[in-house]
Amino acid sequence: RKEVEQDPGPFNVPEGATVAFNCTYSNSASQSFFWYRQDCRKEPKLLMSVYSSGNEDGRFTAQLNRASQYISLLIRDSKLSDSATYLCVVKETSGGYNKLIFGAGTRLAVHP
């Protein structure tokens, strides 16, 4: 079973649309969760952390359901500049050290 699983997309949406991405993770002991954004052939960049109570940053809302081991990202009022691959990332800690486990990403294409 994949450690972090995402729908690969692509999601093709018009500007102004609302789009939601889902992610599931397999390790129930995972404690920290993130959404990163990756543009083509660029490095992953942190979009936002995901907290148990859900959190919002402008047009972006992240939700976490620990019981279902499910993470989501909602993007409202999509902009052309939102076109990218969105990576669901889980941090695993072992012996006091951590590593990031990445999903394969969901590609978003926003068109005029």
Partner 1 sequence: EPEVTQTPSHQVTQMGQEVILRCVPISNHLYFYWYRQILGQKVEFLVSFYNNEISEKSEIFDDQFSVERPDGSNFTLKIRSTKLEDSAMYFCASSRWTSGTSTDTQYFGPGTRLTVL
Q: Kindly list the residues in this chain that would bind partner 1 in the complex (CB under 8 A).
A: 38, 41-46, 49, 87, 91, 93-105
Least separation, in Å, of the C-beta of 10 and partner 1?
Answer: 13
d(CA 35, CA 58): 14
Choice between 18 and 98, CB closer to partner 1:
98
Q: Going along 19-59, which residue ranges are E strands?
A: 19-25, 32-38, 45-50, 55-57
Tokens (6 digits) for 5: 């699983």
Pick 87 or 110: Cβ nearer partner 1:
87
List Cα–Cα distances, 60 to 25, 28, 69, 95, in angstroms. 21, 25, 20, 33
CB of 16 to partner 1, least distance (A): 30
- Output the smallest distance, CB 40 to partner 1, in A: 11
Nearest distance from residue 15's CB to partner 1, in Å? 27
Retrieve residue 1's tokens.
């079973």
Looking at beta carbons only, is 24 or 76 nearer to partner 1? 24
